[in-house]
Each structure stands twice: as C-alpha cells, then as structure tokens.
Structure 1
Amino acid sequence: MTTSEATMKGSEPANPSGALLRGLDVLQAFGPEKDALGNAEIAAATGLPKPTVSRLTRALVDAGYLDYDTERGKYRLRPRVLTLGFSLLNNMKILPIAHEQLQRLATASGCTVSLAWPDAPHMIYLDRCAGEAMPYFFSVGSVIDMARTATGHAYLAALDEASRADVMQLLAKDGGDDWRSVEAAIDVSVKEVADRGFCLVDTTWRRNIRGVAAPLVSRDGRTKLSINCVTTTFAMPAETLVTKWGPALVNTAQALSTHL
C-alpha cells in the first residue's frame, strides 16, 4: 500500500508532524459548549477521518490529555491540557506587570479590563481583571471575535495597511451576511484609534455589552496586542466610557508598551 493510499484510508500520516497537528486539531474541537465529544463528533468538527480520530483519541488518553467516559462513549479534556498554555503564560514577562495595572483600572472604572493576543479570526485573552459593573464570564484562554469586538478592532488598527488587508481577507471568509456592515465598523474603529488612541464598539458583539479598546504595541513595533475596558449598557453610558475610561486605557497601553 502506498503512503497516499494509507492516508486516504485514514491511516496515520508518515510525517510525524502531521500526526501532531491532527492531535492538536482534536484538542481544539473541545470548547465551552463542547465539553464532551465522541469520535464521530470530533471527526465532524475537525474534518478528519473517523479511523484517524479513533487512533488520536486513544493516544491522547494514554498521554493524559483526554479522559474517556465509557458509559457515554465520549471524551473530555483533562487538566493536563492547561500545562500547554500556562507554560506560555509563565514565560510572558509582561503579564505580572500588566495585571497590576489592568486590575487598578478595573477597580477604578468598575469595568472588566483585559489583555488579548491576536489569533485571527479571534482574539485570545491572556489576562482578565473584573470590576463591579461587569460580570466575569470569560477567563484566561477564552476566545472572542476579532471582527466584531473593540478588542479586535484595536488590534487591526495597529497594523500597517498591507498587513491589515491580509487579515481582513481572512476575516471576510467567515464574515457572514453582515460582513459589509462589519467591515465598515472596522474602518470607523481604525479612524478612531488614529484620532484618539482607542475605539468604541457598542452593542455589536453582544446586545447589552459596550467596550473601548486600545492597541498595545511594543517599542520596536514587532509585538501587537490590545487591551479593553468592557461594561454592560445598563451599568455605564457610552459617553462615560468614551470620555473617561477610553483615555485612561490609552495611558495604560502606553505605560505597558515599554515592557513588551
């Protein structure tokens, strides 16, 4: 049997890195509303052949990354998965410094203040500091939509035109029927960041959520993150968020940029 024939029948790829990437695909199939999945569900989510998924899930159980429920015939992530992410977090020297300043702003504003990393088409939270006005319903490692959040818009605004055009093409693929309005909103945010250092997204991502965000760019321009300040519509008017906490967010971003 040739390598291509084996691959077509769902056998493990000859290239070990291919098996590694497929294993990561399996782990990424799990999410907040997908905490328990069977092989068929994982195959549907990843596009991998069912025999390949079966081999990968067995290997991941043996390695301690998945747990298998024999009664339900489903898999769950095991806490060992956390070690992959926390190794990264522990090596990011800015996080302890950033956390103190983010928490200070969260306490003063009552908003939830966060630091996010780009992973188009998403933004990934590296830190979240809760205030009184905003429920703490996301945690470190959570992903949000880059195209529809102030956090994502602030990051996009930090890119040069060529780089932003490349990311926009990627976002457009999953843009949905409202992509034109989303694209227009991003253009507005880019202009807002250029004019005042931060942007506002009001009730676009979630109906009762509004937030401001500012890009966080290292001195050499190589690292681009974003920080946000988010609240509920009933807890704070948009004017207060824009006139008071938007400028404070920009000051925080500027202070942190020296540590990237």
Structure 2
Amino acid sequence: MRDLEQDRRYANTLARGLRILRAFRPSDNGLGNLEISERTGIPRSTVSRLTFTLCALGYLTHGRHFDKYRLGPAALALGNIASAAFGFVTVASPLMQRLANEVNALVGVSIQDDGNMLIVKTWRPEESHTIWLDVGYRMPVLTSSSGIAYLGALSREEREKLETLLPEDAAADCAEVWDRERVQLRRDGYAFVQGQARYSQSINAVATPFHPSEIGEPVSFFCGANVDDLSDARIHSQVGPALVRAVTSLKALTGQAVSAVASG
C-alpha cells in the first residue's frame, strides 16, 4: 500500500471510503465518527465527510442525532452479490460440515483482506454450544495458520504485492515465512503456527490453501479450537490430514487438479 499510494492512478478518496466500510465488525452496535477515525487512522474531519457521502449512497445508515453509523442496504446487497459468486463455498459445505463433526472443531474459510485474513464462512460441530470465532473475525497474516497457508500458496509476485499491505516490520519477515511455508505445504499439505508464535495463545488451528476458479488468489480452509481441545500432536495425527483430505475432495468436485501452491 505504501508504494501504491504514490501511484497517480490511485484514488485516495475512494480507498478511504472503502477503509471506512471495512472498519465495521459483526460485534459492533454502530460506530461514531471518532471510533471510525481511531480504527482507520483517517482524520475525523475527513471521516465526517465520507460517512455523510456513504449514507447518501446507502452504504451506511444513521439514526437520530446521537445514534451511530451502521452498514446500510447497499453494502448488504454488494456483500450478497459477492457471496453468490463464491460457488465453491456451496460445494464445500457438506464436506466441511462433516469435517467439523468428525474433528469436533470449527471449520472455516478465510480470505486476505487489506493485509489481514478475514473469516467469510464457518461450519460448527452440530449440537455444540461452544462459543466459536465467526464471520467477520480478522487474523494477522504472519502469526495465524490461515495467514501462513495463504502466504505459502502465493507466487513471488503475489507475495511482493501482499508485502505492500503489511506493516513494515511484518513485510520484512514475509519472504522468510513464504520460503518456509511453501516447503511445509508441499510436504504435509497444511500449515500451522506453533506455540508463542501464535497471535492468540488460547486458540490452536491448522490451515490449507485452496485456489477457487472464481477469484484470482487462494483462500485458506482452517480447523480451529481451544488449545485444550486441539493440541499440536492432534493436529499432526488427525486434524491436519483430515482437513487436507476434505479440501482434496473439494478440488475433485470443482475440477481444481493443480496444486494450490504457486510454482514460482
């Protein structure tokens, strides 16, 4: 992003408006201009103009004087159109629900969004009352299993593009992680972040990439659970191989015969 912003073709106002839409999370009960400014780093005066415009276009809604902004019907319509274009999720659903029941863990799909991994679909074990991560949750690329599985599947050119979206300290480590995870994915078919390197010490997860025909880059399928229920040993002996088998079945059903890991 740092280099992209210097490109004369880059529409900064549009980018800031989209950044505001990305600031909203499923757990939010509305956001004020100050909260949006704090989340996005955009000055409050600029946020005020952009939220007014987004409201006028239907991408945000706003109640009375003291109410807060919420995503509006235009944003919902756009999201539904995008979801409908992801046909692989529909094909994957019975496979992933069966996997969630088999390993008693959350199964999900995450995509790269503005330098983070965004959960866009989940399958929970049936009859489970555990509180799981849900759609809209964001994870860092280099310290989440979903992130390193995604990274390991990228080509060199795609990795360099990703680096422009990451904080400078993370971008500096990106090439090293990319080299390591490409080897891991080709050897075992899955990737996971161990121990203190994980961004969350309470959750353990394993992930594998999949390259849908509908979009131009890989996504990550993952299995995750509380560390007490999903140990590193269980990831290697059961959950990781089961996830790879499920995604391999999905590849067969969708005609994705090639490896999700880019060749160069």
Q: Give the TM-score of the pair, scaled to structure 2.
A: 0.75
Equivalent residues of 1:112, 1:136 under 8 A apart: no
Q: Are the structure 2 counterparts of residues 91 and 45 from structure 1 closer, same or farther at C-alpha, using a change threshold of 3 Å?
A: same
Secondary structure at the residue paired with 1:201?
coil
Write out aligned runs for 1:1-260 (5 A).
20-31=14-25, 35-70=29-64, 72=66, 74-78=68-72, 81-131=75-125, 135-168=130-163, 170-173=165-168, 175=170, 188-203=180-195, 204-218=198-212, 223-258=217-252, 259=254
Larger gyration radius, structure 1 or structure 2: 1
Instruction: State, as a whole percentage, how many aligned pairs show the same letter.
Output: 29
* Cα distance change on mapping 1:34 and 1:255 into 2, 3 Å: same
Of 158-167 and 228-237, the range deviating more from structure 2: 158-167
Aligned-pair RMSD on alpha carbons?
3.4
Query: 5+ unaligned residues in a row in structure 2: which ranges?
Result: 1-8, 257-264
Could you say if the C-alpha distance between residues 26 and 199 of structure 1 is closer, same or farther in structure 2, counting changes exceeding 3 Å? Answer: closer
* 3-state secondary structure, aligned to 1:256: helix
The 1:50/1:233 distance shift into structure 2, 3 A limit, reads closer
- 1:166, CA displacement in angstroms? 4.5
- 1:114: how far off? 1.0
CA contact (8 A) 2:25 2:137 kept: no
Q: Which amino acid aligns with 2:222?
A: N
Q: Are 2:88 and 2:212, in contact at CA under 8 Å, matched by a contact in 1? A: no
Contact 1:112–1:229, Cα closer than 8 Å, also in 2: yes
Matching residue of 1:5: none
The Cα shift of 1:135 comes to 3.7
CA-to-aligned-CA distance 1:45-68 (integer Å, 9 cap, x gap): 445454443333233334443333
Q: CA deviation at 1:246?
A: 1.0
Q: Is the 8 A contact 1:116 1:124 kept in 2?
A: yes
- CA distance in structure 2 between the aligned counterparts of 1:37 and 1:219, rounded to whole angstroms: 36
SS at match of 1:231: strand
Conservation of the 8 A alpha-carbon contact between 1:213 and 1:227: yes
The 1:257/1:219 distance shift into structure 2, 3 A limit, reads: farther
Once the two structures are TM-superposed, the CA of residue 90 in structure 1 deviates from its matched residue by 1.1
Q: After TM superposition, give the deviation of residue 196 of structure 1 in Å.
A: 1.1
- Please state whether the residue corresponding to 1:164 is helix, strand or coil: helix
What 5-or-longer segments of structure 1 have no aligned partner?
1-14
Contact kept, 8 Å, 1:106 with 1:129, in 2: the verdict is: yes
CA distance in 2: counterparts of 1:69 and 1:174, whole angstroms? 40
In 2: Cα distance, 1:220 partner to 1:83 partner = 19
Tell me the matched-pair count: 242
Deviation at 1:100, TM superposition (A): 1.2
* SS of the residue 1:228 aligns to: strand
Does the CA contact (< 8 Å) of 1:147 and 1:171 recur in 2? no
Can you list the C-alpha shifts for 1:140-199, whole angstroms capped at 9, x where unaligned?
A: 3332211111111111111234433543464352539xx76x876665443321211112
Identify if the C-alpha distance between structure 1 residues 221 and 198 changes in structure 2 by more than 3 Å, giving closer, same or farther: farther
